[in-house]
Each structure stands twice: as structure tokens, then as C-alpha cells.
A and B are shown apart, each in its own frame.
Chain A
């Protein structure tokens, strides 16, 4: 199998670009879209191994998208990624496999992605000798 594919659903252009570049640098395939609707469309067209999902987005927010992603494939791991820890208390987010608060340091995010892939027996790409972020 080739590199695992991560679907990034994030409305903030800068944040999305950051994730796209960082995760590609880490050795992943990345499909990056800016809202829940485009994310669901991407799932129809791509083989995705992990979804990285923002919550506060215009239109279909991350909570609604989470339900619909699980409706599409309930084995697909979803990592919620938000700046607001208060969402963690919302029962509607509890079906996500992991919850990572946004931070300039992406190591927690890298660890969460590696953990859900390893749980499914999917090889995690070897990180470069030195992390870029």
C-alpha cells in the first residue's frame, strides 16, 4: 500500500495550507478542502485513511460533518481539530476517535494521526530526520 491519505477539512485558508504542507512533508498524501460539503464529496472520490476535521466552519460545521462521515463509513477515523476545548464537552463530538486542540506545535496532531493508523495496522510514514514545524 502507498502512503496513507489524510483528508483535511478546514475553512481557514492559512491553517489548511499549513496542514497540507506539514502533512505532505511528514510523508502523507493530503486532500485538503474548505468545508464539510467538499469533504463529503472528497470521500466519494478518494480513498481516505484519516479525516482531520475542524468544527467551527460556515455552512456544514464539523459536528454535522462528523455524523455524515460516519454514515458514509463508520470505520473511518475522524480526528476533531479545533481551537475551542469547550467542544470536547459536547456529546455530539464523542463519536470522533480523537480530539486535538489547535496549536502551533503539531506534534500532538502527528501522534494522534499515527495512533489511529497504527490501531488499524496501517504503516505510518517514516518522519523526516527533523520536523519542519
Chain B
């Protein structure tokens, strides 16, 4: 069950038209592609996508990407599950409520275990190994945990575990995160990736439905389960390809969205998109190859440390450390550095952009400058942590 209903307010305006899992990521992908590819690569092919907010574009993308990759005959599916307003006449009040309102799905399938995931994280993970660990430990709940240096964990959900890996505490944004047994310099961060014994999940969300809470797994349900002394274990996250630095990001803010793109253009990125053994699937529109050519007056194009996607044209522009989504264009003499250009963005001749995220379809006029004067940018755009975001439908002159 994949939670894909996040409104993503902190990613606004990128989420003004689509739910957070449907936001473009890494040039060609949508955020949801990472979780769904992990499912398919791990052999999980019965997937319920719990949607709520602005899901039209997300559902179109998922249908285009996944319908042909799954077999109805083998009972494989990605089903969309918006609030039915039947069992309870309300929208999903929280992540736990989203499961509670859809208990009929679990009742129909009666699986032994449920893998509960978020649709807005960027990472590659073999859930099969985690399920095997869950079964081996006889756990009610197994939580994927990322080991990070303790000072990096103060803004995240942190798990305290004993030497056997049993969870003994669950702390939200602790000032002094507990270290791991035997590794006091690192803390275990909750990745929002869970394997539940089905009956334990149903008991937990049913009990939560009777309490005054935010109906959230991280804030309410799991701390309560830990307090009850249920058998809950961690599964330390490792990269499927064996990288010593497994990559996981919750793309929650504009800054983290931009930073994750800068991570992707590193010469050897921690999130390797070129790993044939763990493909990240997505919908590929029928577009021509990316093209880098001289511009007007034979002005040479220059592109380095960039991700270019199908249909992009850089004609005489200078593009550095940037990600260009399908159909983006950079015209003669334009300067683009440390930027993310969404689909069909056009950067006019002589324009200059630095640390800018330009949303879909925006046309930057010739000679226009963005990202050089935060005060001026803030009058027309969204500026956060040094990043300027130009929303879609903005008309510039």
C-alpha cells in the first residue's frame, strides 16, 4: 500500500497542480516512480495507491507507465484508491486513517503481511530482503532505518533500538538523538518504509481510529505500538547494488528538491540511475533525442554536469550543473547554472538563471535575469533557502 495523497504544501508551487508523488523529478521521472520501481524490482506486483489530492496527472502517469508492465491475468495491478466516503464520510484524516478507511481491501486479500510505503521518497531498495527479515524476526512491524551521523538526525524521526534490533523508542526530531548499539556516532532514522503483520496493522489502525490523534503512523500509531511492547524491529537500509553510501531522501521542501537534483548530476551520484540491475521505470513520451547545437551567429553551446532528456534543445546556450526535463529549450547566449527546468520550459536568448527551478511550460523572455537578486525575485516568484521557483502559468515580459 503506497501512500500517495500528500498535498506537499512545503513544495508549493510545484504541487499546485499535482500531488507530491506526481511532481517531476530527475528530468524524466515522477517521484512515485522510485517507490513503484522498487516494488516491481522486489517482486511486489499487487499495489494499492492511496490518493487524495490532485491525482489526475499522477493517475495518468501511473497508467501510462505501469499498465503495460503488469499482468491482469496474473492478478498484478496498481489500483488507485481515493477516499471512498463509504465506511467513513470524510477525506483521509492522516496516513493511518487512509489505511483504516480501506480495511476492506485487506479483508478481501487477507495477505500475511502488508508493505506500507510513501510515494514521495527518492531511493532504491529491495523490499524482499526486508520482508524476509520481518518474517525471520517474527515481528508485528519492521521499520526500515537509515544510519546517519547523529547530528544529521535532529530534524528527522529517530528510532532507538537494542542490540537485537528491537525497537525500544521512537522519537520525533530529538535534540539529542540516541546512538546505535555499538555505533554511538550514528543514529537510526525512520525512512517511512514499513512491513506490517496484517493483523497487527489492522489492530493498530482500528485502535487509532478510536483515539483523538492526528491519525499518523509516525506521530501516533508507531509510538503507541512501541509503548505497548509489541515486537517491532528495525531493518537497516542497504543499497541493492551494495554502495557503502545508500541514498534515501524524503523530498519534502523546495531546498531538498533542488539539492536532490544537484546530487543526481554529481560525476558519480549516490543515487545511480544507470544501474541496469535496478531500473527506475517511467513513461517515456515519443520525443526526439536531446540536441546541443550552435545558436544564432554560430554561438557555440556549452553543456557540462547536466542531465538532458528527450526533446531538449540547447542552441548556443551555456548550461552548467542543471537538469533539463523533456522538451526544455535554452536559446543562444543564455546562461543556466544550477537550475532545474521542467517540461517545455524555454529560456530565451541572453537570459541568465542561477539556482532556479522553472515549472512546466514557462517561457523566460530574452535577456531576463532570475536568481541574481533575491529581493527582486521575491516580488514575483517563490524564494526559499536561496532557491527561486518560477511557478507554471507565470507570464513574463
Which label, helix, strand, loop or mixed, suits the secondary structure of the A interface? helix
A residues in contact with B87, CB < 8 Å: 63-64, 67-68, 92
How distant is B89 from chain A, measured CB to nearest CB, in Å?
5
Contact with A along B183-226 (1 / 0, CB 8 A): 00000000000000000001100100111100000000000000
Question: Which residues in B have some Cβ–Cβ distance to A below 8 Å?
Answer: 86-90, 100-101, 103-104, 106-107, 202-203, 206, 209-212
Kindly list chain A residues whose C-beta atoms are within 8 Å of the C-beta of B210.
Answer: 70, 74-75, 95, 97
With a 10 A CB-CB cut-off, give which of A75, A92, A97 has the most chain B CB atoms.
A92
Residue contact A71 to B89, C-beta cutoff 8 Å = yes
Chain A contact patch, size range:
10 to 19
Q: Are B206 and A94 in contact (CB under 8 A)?
A: yes
B211:A74 contact, CB within 8 angstroms: yes
Interchain Cβ contacts within 8 Å, total number: 42
Determine the chain A residues whose CB is within 8 A of the CB of B211 once the complex forms. 74
Bound-complex Cα distance A115 to B112 (A): 32
- Given A75-B210, A95-B206, A97-B210, the answer on whether A70 and B106 have CB atoms closer than 8 Å is no
User: Mask for A62-78, Cβ within 8 A of B = 1, else 0?
Assistant: 01100110110011000
Give the residue of A64, A75, A95, A97 whose beta carbon is less than 8 angstroms from that of B100: A95
The answer for the CA separation of A95 and B206 in the assembled complex, in Å, is 5
CA distance A95 to B101 in the complex (A): 11
Known: A63-B87, A71-B89, A92-B103. 8 other contacts (CB 8 A): A67-B87, A70-B88, A70-B210, A71-B90, A74-B210, A75-B212, A91-B206, A95-B209
Shortest Cβ distance from residue B215 to the other chain A in the assembled complex, whole angstroms? 10
Chain A residues, Cβ within 8 Å of B101: 67
Chain B residues lying within 8 Å of A74, measured Cβ to Cβ, are 209-212
Most buried by B among A63, A68, A95: A95
Q: Assess the B86–A90 pair: CB atoms within 8 A.
A: no
Indicate which residue in A64, A70, A75, A91 contacts B107 across the interface (CB closer than 8 Å): A91
| Distance to closest chain A CB from B226 (angstroms) | 20
Cβ < 8 Å to B, chain A residues 22-80: 63-64, 67-68, 70-71, 74-75
A70 to B101, CA, bound (A): 11
**Residue of A at shortest CB range from B100?**
A95
Q: Contacting B104 at CB < 8 Å: which of A68, A70, A92, A97?
A: A92
- Is A94's CB under 8 angstroms from B203's CB? yes
| Bound Cα distance A63, B103 (Å) | 12
A91–B86 alpha-carbon span in the complex (Å): 15
Q: Which residues of A contact B88 (CB under 8 A)?
A: 67-68, 70-71
Asked if residues A91 and B90 are in contact (CB atoms below 8 Å), the reply is no
Give A116 Cβ to nearest chain B Cβ, in Å: 11
Closest to A69 in B: B88
Q: CA of A92 to CA of B211 in the docked complex: distance in angstroms?
A: 17
A91 touching B202, Cβ below 8 Å: yes
Shortest Cβ distance from residue A124 to the other chain B in the assembled complex, whole angstroms: 20
Chain B hits for A90, CB < 8 A: 107
The smallest C-beta distance from A76 to any residue of chain B, in angstroms, reads: 9
Min distance, Cβ A60 to any Cβ of chain B, angstroms: 11
